[in-house]
């Protein structure tokens, strides 16, 4: 598994935080706030795979590009960044030794908490 940092997604996440498009929710809320499979499919249908990838900080180059499996570490709900998602992805990235993603998630969390 060759998951790498998705730079365009990171830039988008930072921009959204700076624009105030953030939900400052609680640590364990992501399971309830994460988009459902149907919501993901509707988003892909409407906005396409590139936009879908922009909502994930991880890209797996070993997976077929235009599949959900190629995108990992979601940080929001296709409208706003969710603090709980960033906390969750930081933890998971660290757990699986994706250090660059973990470190950028930590910085994104700091940016969220500054606001």
pLDDT in tens, 85-100: 999 999 999 999 999 9
1, pLDDT greater than 80: no
38, pLDDT greater than 80: yes
* Cβ neighbours for 37, distance < 8 A, ≥ 6 positions apart: none
Quickly state the pLDDT bin for 28 (edges 50, 70, 90).
confident
Q: How far apart are the first and last CA of the chain?
A: 35
0.85 surpassed by pTM:
yes
Question: In 3D, which of 14, 27, 20 has the Cα closest to residue 54?
Answer: 14
How far is Cα 81 from Cα 15, in angstroms, rounded to an integer?
10
Mean pLDDT of the chain: 96
């Amino acid at each position: 598994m060759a998951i790498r940092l998705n730079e365009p997604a990171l830039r988008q996440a930072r921009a959204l935080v700076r624009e105030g498009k953030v939900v400052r929710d609680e640590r364990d809320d992501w399971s309830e706030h994460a988009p459902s499979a149907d919501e993901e499919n509707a988003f892909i249908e409407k906005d396409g795979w590139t936009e879908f990838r922009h909502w994930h900080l991880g890209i797996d180059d070993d997976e077929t590009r235009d599949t959900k499996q190629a995108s990992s570490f979601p940080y929001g709900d296709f409208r706003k960044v969710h603090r709980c998602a960033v906390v969750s992805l930081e933890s998971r990235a660290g757990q699986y030794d994706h250090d660059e993603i973990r470190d950028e998630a930590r910085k994104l969390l700091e940016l969220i908490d500054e606001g």
